[in-house]
C-alpha cells in the first residue's frame, strides 16, 4: 500500500516526553493550531488546498506567523515552544517594506500618526531612532520579515561569535602521470598521512568551489532549518593537518555557542553535504599535482567514517596516548 508507514517501538516517545507532548497539545488551544503544527512538518505546495479542506480562511497567515515566531525566538526547549504557541497572537510580522532601521522608524511613525515637517527632515536622525526602537522593542529580522512581540521584547542573538570546528577523515586516490605526461587509467590510494603533502593544492581547490550566491555565509546559505539559519553566520569547508594526517574540517561561526541539539543538527547537515551535496561535487574535480590528478573525498560509506568536534578528536588522541602509556 502506498503511503503506509510501518511503526516501530522506536517511534513511541518515553513517558516523560509523552507527558510534555500532552501538555504541548493542550496549550495549542484550538484545533486550528493543532492543524498548523502538523502542517509545519509537511511540504509547502498544498497550503491553499489543505486550508480549504479544513475550512480555515486564514490558515496560511497563521502558519506563517507561527514559523516566524519560532524563527525569531529560536526556542531550545519544549516549554519555550509551548509558551510561543500559547501566545501566538502577541507576535506581529511587519510589512515587507520594513527592511532597515529607517524603515522601522517610518513604520512606527505612521502607526502612531506622527508626522515630521518636511523642513525638519534634514535635522532628524530617523536611522538612529529606528535602531534605538528596534533594540528596545526586540524587533528581530527573519526570513519571513521583521518580527516583534507586543507584550515583551524578543531576546536578541548574542553579539559575540563562537567558532565550532568539525573534523572527519579524508579518503583519496591519485591517477599518476608518466614521464610523457599521460595520466594512468588506474588509481592508487593516497593515505591521510600522504595527503599532508598536498594540503596547499587541496585548499586552493576548495576555494574554487565558492559560489557568489553564497555571499559570506558559505554552506550556511543552503540551510533549510530556519532556526539554525538565523543562529549560524557561516559554514566553510577546509582541511587541516593533525598528528601527521590530513583531515576534512567544517568551520562554523555562530552567534553564541551551539546547544547540543543544534550541534547534532549541524553534524547531520554537514554529513549530507559531504555525501550528496558539496562533497559529492568536490570529489569529482581533479586536483592537479606534479604526480598526477588527485581526487579527495570528504565522506565515505565505511564504518570508520565519523564527524566529531575538534575537542572530541583531540581528546580522543590524548586518551589514546594515555592508554598506550599504561
In the predicted model, is pLDDT for residue 9 greater than 50? no
**Residue in this structure with the C-alpha cell 549560524, named with its chain if needed:** 232
For 261, the 3-state DSSP assignment is helix
Q: How many CA atoms lie within 13 A of 126 on its CB side?
A: 18
pLDDT at 195: 97
pLDDT of residue 47: 42
Give the tens place of pLDDT for each residue, 201-226: 999 999 999 999 899 999 999 998 77
State pTM to two decimals. 0.66
73 confidence band (pLDDT: 50, 70, 90): confident
- pLDDT for position 317: 53
Q: How many CA atoms lie within 13 A of 239 on its CB side?
A: 28
pLDDT, tens digit, 9 for 90 and up, residues 246-275: 999 999 999 989 888 889 999 999 999 999
Average pLDDT score over residue span 57-64: 69
Q: Say what percent of the chain tops pLDDT 90.
A: 42
More confident residue, 149 or 57: 149
Q: Report the range out of 40-44, 60-64, 142-146, 289-293 with the highest average pLDDT.
A: 289-293
Asked if the model's pLDDT at residue 176 lies above 80, the reply is: yes
Q: To which residue does cell 532628524 refer?
A: 124
What's the pLDDT score for residue 211? 92
Q: Write out the three cell numbers for 84.
A: 510561543
| Extents of the domains making up the chain | 9-88, 95-138, 161-325
21 — pLDDT class (breaks 50, 70, 90): low
Q: Label residue 115 by pLDDT band (50, 70, 90).
A: confident
Amino acid at each position: 500500500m502506498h503511503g503506509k508507514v510501518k511503526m516501530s517501538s522506536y517511534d513511541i516517545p518515553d513517558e516523560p516526553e509523552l507527558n510534555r507532548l500532552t501538555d504541548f497539545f493542550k496549550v495549542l488551544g484550538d484545533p486550528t493550531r493543532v492543524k498548523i503544527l502538523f502542517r509545519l512538518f509537511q511540504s509547502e505546495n498544498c497550503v491553499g488546498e489543505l486550508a480549504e479542506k479544513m475550512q480555515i480562511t486564514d490558515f496560511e497567515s497563521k502558519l506563517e506567523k507561527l514559523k516566524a515566531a519560532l524563527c525569531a525566538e529560536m526556542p531550545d526547549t519544549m516549554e519555550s515552544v509551548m509558551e510561543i504557541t500559547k501566545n501566538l497572537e502577541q507576535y506581529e510580522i511587519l510589512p515587507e517594506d520594513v527592511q532597515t532601521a529607517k524603515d522601522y522608524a517610518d513604520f512606527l511613525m505612521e502607526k502612531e500618526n506622527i508626522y515630521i515637517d518636511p523642513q525638519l527632515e534634514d535635522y532628524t536622525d530617523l536611522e538612529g531612532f529606528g535602531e534605538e526602537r528596534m533594540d528596545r522593542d526586540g524587533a528581530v529580522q527573519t526570513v519571513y520579515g521583521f518580527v516583534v512581540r507586543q507584550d515583551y521584547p524578543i531576546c536578541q542573538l548574542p553579539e559575540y561569535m563562537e567558532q565550532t570546528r568539525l573534523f572527519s577523515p579524508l579518503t583519496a586516490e591519485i591517477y599518476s602521470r608518466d614521464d610523457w605526461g599521460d595520466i594512468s587509467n588506474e588509481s592508487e590510494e593516497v593515505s591521510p598521512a600522504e595527503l599532508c603533502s598536498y594540503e596547499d593544492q587541496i585548499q586552493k581547490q576548495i576555494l574554487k568551489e565558492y559560489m557568489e550566491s553564497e555571499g559570506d555565509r558559505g554552506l550556511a546559505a543552503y540551510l533549510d532549518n530556519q532556526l539554525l539559519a538565523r543562529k549560524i553566520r557561516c559554514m566553510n569547508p577546509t582541511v587541516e593537518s593533525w598528528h601527521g594526517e590530513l583531515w576534512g574540517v567544517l568551520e562554523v561561526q555562530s552567534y553564541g555557542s551551539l546547544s547540543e541539539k543544534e550541534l547534532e543538527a549541524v553534524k547531520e547537515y554537514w554529513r549530507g553535504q559531504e555525501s550528496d551535496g558539496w562533497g559529492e561535487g568536490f570529489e569529482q574535480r581533479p586536483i592537479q599535482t606534479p604526480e598526477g590528478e588527485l581526487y579527495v573525498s570528504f565522506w565515505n560509506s565505511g564504518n570508520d567514517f565519523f564527524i566529531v568536534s575538534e575537542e572530541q578528536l583531540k581528546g580522543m588522541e590524548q586518551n589514546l596516548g594515555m592508554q598506550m602509556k599504561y
